[in-house]
Amino acid sequence: MSNLEAFRAETRAWLEENCPKAMRTPMQGEADFCWGGRKYTFQSEDQKVWLERMAARGWTVPTWPKEYGGGGLTKDEAKILATEMKRLNARVPLVSFGIWMLGPALLKFGTEEQKKEHLPKIARGEIRWCQGYSEPNAGSDLAALATKAVDHGDHYIINGQKIWTSYADKADWIFCLIRTDTTVKHDGISFVLFDMETPGVSTKPIKLISGNSPFCETFFDDVKVLKKNLMGEENKGWTIAKYLLTHERSNIGDMGVPTPLNMLAKDKLGTKDGELSVTMLRHQIAEHEIDAASFMFTLERAKDAAKSGGDQGAFSSLLKGYGTELNKDRHELIVKVNGSDSFEWEGQFSNNGEIARTWLRTKGNSIEGGTTEVQLNIISKRILGLPS
Ligand SMILES: Cc1cc2nc3c(=O)[nH]c(=O)nc-3n(C[C@H](O)[C@H](O)[C@H](O)COP(=O)(O)OP(=O)(O)OC[C@H]3O[C@@H](n4cnc5c(N)ncnc54)[C@H](O)[C@@H]3O)c2cc1C
């Protein structure tokens, strides 16, 4: 038996024994995701146990080094773990901006002290992070950010405002872009980490069309941040910011492998001679499924390239741009399949308006992490080599 086959057998047996039955059911919505953090309330004892068991093996972040709370798995082993979890319908034990975004950046740019302090807490789900990038006048043109840090020797005093800070009111720490030099644009930005309980930090939730309030305005009034919390060099934060964005974009673009639409449609609308009875929808769904399958192959190709050490770079813009538009298309079709049932907003039948709320939420996918137009600009310049 090869090493990988032995790893698969051990992993399968461990998952069978350790994944609680309730954690082998599809997540019904946002509430089922485990975000961790100081303020997080577990939805059930099973959810807590599942996180603890997976974290103890480092399998919340399978490829991170063991010394930082990871599983130390190779990319091939991690792929096997993912396949075996899928086989069991095991839920992802922990989701977080720490895992998707900050962790990879810390591994590349953090000091040893920063890695040792922050990575294990991310891996165990003890600290939840939020992202302080956008400002009222700095979204697509992120480098226009104005949140200002004044140098006081061993610390900065920070003043300014962020906006659209997802889950800022639920997060424990923030990774944040600040201006440490006002005379230059990109070269005057630094990347800092600080506790959201630092005096002078406040948040104000923003309510969305979906009825949820997943993000906030975040204010900094004379916030003191020690320089040991500066990541990378002063005024060199833009490089880290961009690197982190490639991870954010790849993650947003990769929507996983959802239930095929034709199955959802057949369940809802019925079939005639084995085919979906509504002809027009049948064509639209077929087209979507072909696009989705092609995209899945592209994602696999990107993952293989990353496995052999390739940098995602601008390719993450392609994944993000296409993946999020595809996801919007998928939810438009789900709404069509479910007809007027889609618009029930509250009540048990619709799981509290899950279809409508998710459909509305997908509109934000093509904005967060950089809009589709911005991704198209990057693709045209950096992949296709077109002039600006
Ligand atoms: C669900 C959600 C979650 C978010 N979470 C966070 C978060 O946690 N932290 C954070 O910092 N930010 C977050 N954001 C903010 C997000 O990063 C910004 O909304 C995004 O970068 C766009 O910036 P903007 O909203 O200022 O739009 P603008 O930059 O003002 O853009 C307005 C319109 O102009 C277009 N446009 C702008 N520039 C160009 C150009 N050069 N070429 C072509 N078209 C252009 C855009 O595509 C868009 O359609 C989130 C946003 C959403 C929707």
Contact between 180 and 189 under an 8 Å Cβ cutoff? The reply is: yes
Catalytic site residue from 77, 135, 234, 248: 248
Whether ligand 1 lies within 6 angstroms of the CB of 367 is answered as yes
Is 248 a residue of the active site? yes
Helix H segments across 19-160?
45-56, 75-87, 97, 103-109, 112-123
Q: Please say if the pLDDT value at position 253 is more than 90.
A: no
Whether ligand 1 lies within 6 angstroms of the CB of 371 is answered as yes
From the CA of 363, give the closest atom in ligand 1. Answer: 53
From the CA of 364, give the closest atom in ligand 1. Answer: 53
**Cα 162 to ligand 1 centroid, rounded to whole Å:** 13
DSSP bridge pairs for 275: 272
**Cα 52 to ligand 1 centroid, rounded to whole Å:** 36
Mutate-to-test residue for ligand 1 from 129, 130, 137, 140, highest number of ligand atoms within 8 A of CB: 140
- Band (pLDDT 50/70/90 cuts) for residue 255 is low
- Band (pLDDT 50/70/90 cuts) for residue 106 is very high
Distance separating alpha carbons of residues 135 and 169, to the nearest angstrom: 17
Distance separating alpha carbons of residues 337 and 257, to the nearest angstrom: 19
Whether ligand 1 lies within 6 angstroms of the CB of 188 is answered as no
Going from the C-alpha of 113 to that of each of 116, 156, 231, the distances in angstroms are 5, 19, 11
Contact between 7 and 62 under an 8 Å Cβ cutoff? The reply is: no
Q: Please say if the pLDDT value at position 257 is more than 70.
A: no
Angle at 83 between CA 82 and CA 87, to 5 degrees: 120
- What is the secondary structure of 338-379 as a DSSP string? HGGGGG--SSTTTTTTHHHHHHHHHHHHTTTTS-HHHHHHHI
Going from the C-alpha of 384 to that of each of 60, 291, 315, 347, 387, the distances in angstroms are 36, 21, 11, 48, 9
Q: What is the pLDDT of residues 33-71, one digit of tens each?
A: 999 999 999 999 999 999 999 999 999 999 999 999 999
Angle at 67 between CA 225 and CA 47, to 5 degrees: 85
Whether ligand 1 lies within 6 angstroms of the CB of 362 is answered as no
Whether ligand 1 lies within 6 angstroms of the CB of 147 is answered as no
Q: What is the mean pLDDT of residues 230-244?
A: 97
- Band (pLDDT 50/70/90 cuts) for residue 11 is very high
Q: Please say if the pLDDT value at position 171 is more than 90.
A: yes
**Cα 371 to ligand 1 centroid, rounded to whole Å:** 5
Distance separating alpha carbons of residues 314 and 380, to the nearest angstrom: 10
Q: What is the mean pLDDT of residues 346-371?
A: 87
Task: Kindly compute the dihedral angle of the four CA atoms of residues 219, 222, 226, 229, in this order, to the nearest 10 degrees.
Answer: 20
Tokens of 186: 């990109």
**Cα 320 to ligand 1 centroid, rounded to whole Å:** 13
**Cα 328 to ligand 1 centroid, rounded to whole Å:** 17
Percent of the chain with pLDDT over 70: 97
What 8-state DSSP symbol labels residue 271? E
Q: What is the pLDDT of residues 265-299, one digit of tens each?
A: 888 888 888 888 888 899 999 999 999 999 999 98
pTM: 0.92
Q: What is the mean pLDDT of residues 246-262?
A: 80
Q: What is the mean pLDDT of residues 244-253?
A: 88
Segment among 67-71, 178-182, 378-382 with least mean pLDDT: 378-382
Q: What is the mean pLDDT of residues 76-93?
A: 94
Distance separating alpha carbons of residues 338 and 24, to the nearest angstrom: 26
Question: Phi/psi class of residue 352: alpha, beta or left (left: φ > 0; alpha: ψ in -120 to 50)?
Answer: left
Distance separating alpha carbons of residues 252 and 370, to the nearest angstrom: 10
206: closest CA among 157, 154, 164? 164
Segment among 3-17, 94-108, 177-191, 240-254 with least mean pLDDT: 240-254
Whether ligand 1 lies within 6 angstroms of the CB of 374 is answered as yes
Mean pLDDT of the chain: 93
**Cα 29 to ligand 1 centroid, rounded to whole Å:** 25
**Which residue lies with its CA nearest to atom 41 of ligand 1?**
374
Angle at 202 between CA 197 and CA 206, to 5 degrees: 130
pLDDT at position 304: 80
Q: What is the pLDDT of residues 124-165, one digit of tens each?
A: 999 999 999 999 999 999 999 999 999 999 999 999 999 999
Percent of the chain with pLDDT over 90: 74
Residues making up the chain, counted from first to last: 388
Question: Phi/psi class of residue 88: alpha, beta or left (left: φ > 0; alpha: ψ in -120 to 50)?
Answer: alpha
Q: What is the mean pLDDT of residues 13-21?
A: 98
Whether ligand 1 lies within 6 angstroms of the CB of 137 is answered as no
Residue type (1 letter), 38: R
